[in-house]
């Protein structure tokens, strides 16, 4: 197995031909490249699909086309990548992606604004392949920013295969521009007994131990001995470091050795977007949901189709002798920096509990259903990563318009949507105001759904939380921001918020004509900057701003100003 993993790793390097492509691509920035995040880094429900280049803590750094090509797509959104640009490069068969931009180059910006006014929408997703904008290598195409779901100024940068849209690690082409001699760090070891087949320290529950470090940075041994019997799996919590930064990153490769033999190998390479949510099987989902810890599993669940694994036995280990089993992890980053961590499992006979009787078993390779009078659930084929003993708990409620349902007693991720149906027990006059809410950690989040003859239907993508039917009949709230300064600043700002179901749409007009308001998910302020629509006429103007939430509740704000 060790030889196979090494050969496959070498072949992948040859196939990517990074030396050749590195000569084709220039840097998207004209400052020294430092990463704040790497490709494949572990995130909530997904792998990070590119690299994040630091922009020295500021916005408006020029962004350059990395090669000749044409703008094939432009996306403007208050969330996600914010302002994003996609450039196809026919000579390499790749698409470069630039996200969280503050603004675009003039020609591109003019095109986008014209389309936004044509569609009367801030949010647009434009495909330009019929009429592309050509760019040359080194052209300034945009300026860096912090738009969308971004926590600080940086450039999100991707390289994709243009035909398949598979994600390729940009470090293949920029490794020579970034120095890294720092080795990964191991933060914890986990052991997972297989239900009905194994146990750890006389328990069927997973065991986790943190790994400390000395003042010199050396890893400390595990604090407590681990005794096991039967079939078990392992997991590791690990991060990478890079030279010149204090950030933590994802690791590239994980290898596990038991009794001197490699039993598991995973190596993050290219992957597709439809596989991205399988991160929830790559890691222990329950550890992430309960404690915000990413423990990477060193075994493969049957419903996990990620292409990262090189493990003939699935990574499971059989502890069937009363002796010490020497183990070690070998963790590597993209630059080949490695960290080895040794530990051991003591084989000791223990009573392996039989699996509990299951009233509602669900199987990873079947369509699964739960049918009740007041609650039902349908899970399409391919949604579960492994078999599950499903559990539903129901509790009457005075607050909500239905009973409250805890959908399974522990967190379980689904790869795609499952359809849930809940019976309404207290009706209201307007069925359009109904919605399913998720109850989690004392907070209520709107899921929504559709009314269906006394029931509400909605889609969910994970188990472990409570759900109920509620309603929203409160319209959004609109407030002017510094209204007396609108004319002097040549911009109009309003603050828009909603109490529950969320803003569905908004529209601003001046004298009956649509004007373009911009906004970002990190703020409730919506802004219109005076443009050609707002010519100075030294007259009074009528401003109207209308907002609607997901339940059809509408608010209108009116104001008059002289300009």
Statement: residue 339 has pLDDT above 50: yes
Query: Which whole number is the average pLDDT over 93-118?
Result: 98
Cα separation of 70 and 143, whole Å? 17
Tokens matching residue 281 = 């099987």
Q: What is the pLDDT of residue 24?
A: 85
Which has the closest alpha carbon to 339: 181, 114, 198, 559? Answer: 181
Q: In whole numbers, what is the pLDDT of the chain averaged over residues?
A: 94
Domain coordinates of the chain in residue numbers?
2-177, 185-347, 361-471, 477-562
CB 461 within 8 A of CB 418: yes
CATH fold of 2-177: Glucose Permease (Domain IIA) (2.70.70)
Tokens matching residue 561 = 């100003």
Ranking 51-60, 303-312, 428-437 by mean pLDDT, the lowest is 303-312
pLDDT tens digits along 354-372:
988 999 999 999 999 999 9
The full 3-state SS of 446-489, as one line of letters, equals EEECEECCCEEEEEEEEECCEEEEEECCCCCEEEECCHHHHHHH
More confident residue, 62 or 2: 62
Statement: residue 9 has pLDDT above 50: no
pLDDT tens digits along 220-274:
999 999 999 999 999 999 999 999 899 999 999 999 999 999 999 999 988 999 9
How would residue 205 be classed by pLDDT, with cut points 50, 70 and 90?
very high
Q: Residues with Cβ < 8 Å from 534, sequence gap 6 or more?
A: 490, 510, 515, 541, 563
Which has the closest alpha carbon to 147: 115, 122, 184, 175? Answer: 122
Cα separation of 562 and 37, whole Å? 48
Which has the closest alpha carbon to 263: 306, 313, 197? Answer: 313
pLDDT tens digits along 111-142:
999 999 999 999 999 999 778 899 999 999 99
Helix residue ranges, H only, 149-268: 171-174
How would residue 23 be classed by pLDDT, with cut points 50, 70 and 90?
low
CB 232 within 8 A of CB 319: yes
Statement: residue 171 has pLDDT above 60: yes
CATH fold of 477-562: Immunoglobulin-like (2.60.40)
pTM of the model: 0.92
CATH of region 361-471: 2.60.220.30
The string of DSSP codes covering 121-173 is: -S-EEEE-TTSPEEE-TT-EEEEEB--SS-SSSEEEEEEEETTT--EE-THHH
Query: Which whole number is the average pLDDT over 142-150?
Result: 98
């Amino acid at each position: 197995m060790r030889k196979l993993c090494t050969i496959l790793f070498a072949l992948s390097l040859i196939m990517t031909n990074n030396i050749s492509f590195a000569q084709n691509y220039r840097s998207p920035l004209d400052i020294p490249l430092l990463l704040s995040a790497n490709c494949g880094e572990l995130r909530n429900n997904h792998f990070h699909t590119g690299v994040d280049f630091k922009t020295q803590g500021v916005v408006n750094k020029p962004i350059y086309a990395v090669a000749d090509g044409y703008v094939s797509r432009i996306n403007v959104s208050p969330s996600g990548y914010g302002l994003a640009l996609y450039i196809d490069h026919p000579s390499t068969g790749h698409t470069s992606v630039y996200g969280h931009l503050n603004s675009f180059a003039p020609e591109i910006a003019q095109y986008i604004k014209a389309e936004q006014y044509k569609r009367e929408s801030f949010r647009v997703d434009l495909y330009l392949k019929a009429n592309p904008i050509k760019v040359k290598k080194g052209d300034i195409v945009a300026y860096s920013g912090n738009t969308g779901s971004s926590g600080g100024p940086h450039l999100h940068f991707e390289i994709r295969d243009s035909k398949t849209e598979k994600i390729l690690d940009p470090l293949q082409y920029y490794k020579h521009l970034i120095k890294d001699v720092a080795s990964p760090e191991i933060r914890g070891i986990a052991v997972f007994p297989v239900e009905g087949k194994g146990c750890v320290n006389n328990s069927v529950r997973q065991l986790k131990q943190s790994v400390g470090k000395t003042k010199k940075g050396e890893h400390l041994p595990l604090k407590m001995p681990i005794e096991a019997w039967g079939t078990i799996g392992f997991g590791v919590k690990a991060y990478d470091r890079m030279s010149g930064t204090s950030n933590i990153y994802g690791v590239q490769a994980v290898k596990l050795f038991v009794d001197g033999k490699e039993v598991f190998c995973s190596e993050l390479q290219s992957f597709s977007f439809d596989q991205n949510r399988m991160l929830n099987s790559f890691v222990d989902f329950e550890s992430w949901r309960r404690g915000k810890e990413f423990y990477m599993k060193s075994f493969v669940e049957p419903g996990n189709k990620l292409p990262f694994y090189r493990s003939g036995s699935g990574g499971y280990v059989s502890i069937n002798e009363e002796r010490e089993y020497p183990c070690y992890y070998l963790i590597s980053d993209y630059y080949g920096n490695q960290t080895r961590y040794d530990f051991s499992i003591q084989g000791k006979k223990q009573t392996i509990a039989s699996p509990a009787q299951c009233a509602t078993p669900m199987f990873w390779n079947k369509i699964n259903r739960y049918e009740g009078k007041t609650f039902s659930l349908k899970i399409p084929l391919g949604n579960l990563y492994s078999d599950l003993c499903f559990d539903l708990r129901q509790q009457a409620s005075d607050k909500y318009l239905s009973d409250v349902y805890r959908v399974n007693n522990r967190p379980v991720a689904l790869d795609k949507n499952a359809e849930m149906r809940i019976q309404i027990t207290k009706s209201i006059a307007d069925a359009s105001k109904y919605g399913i809410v998720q109850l989690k950690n004392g907070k209520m989040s709107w899921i929504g759904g559709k009314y269906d003859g006394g029931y509400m239907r909605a889609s969910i993508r994970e188990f472990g939380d409570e759900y109920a039917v509620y309603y929203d009949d409160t319209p959004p709230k609109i407030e002017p921001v510094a209204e007396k300064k609108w004319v002097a600043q040549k911009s109009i700002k309003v603050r828009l918020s909603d109490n529950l179901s969320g803003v569905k749409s908004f529209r601003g007009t001046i004298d009956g004509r649509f004007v373009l308001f911009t906004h970002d998910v990190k703020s409730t302020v919506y802004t219109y900057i005076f443009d050609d629509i707002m010519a100075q006429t030294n007259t009074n103007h009528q401003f109207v701003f209308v907002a609607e939430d997901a339940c059809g509740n509408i608010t209108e704000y009116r104001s008059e100003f002289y300009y």
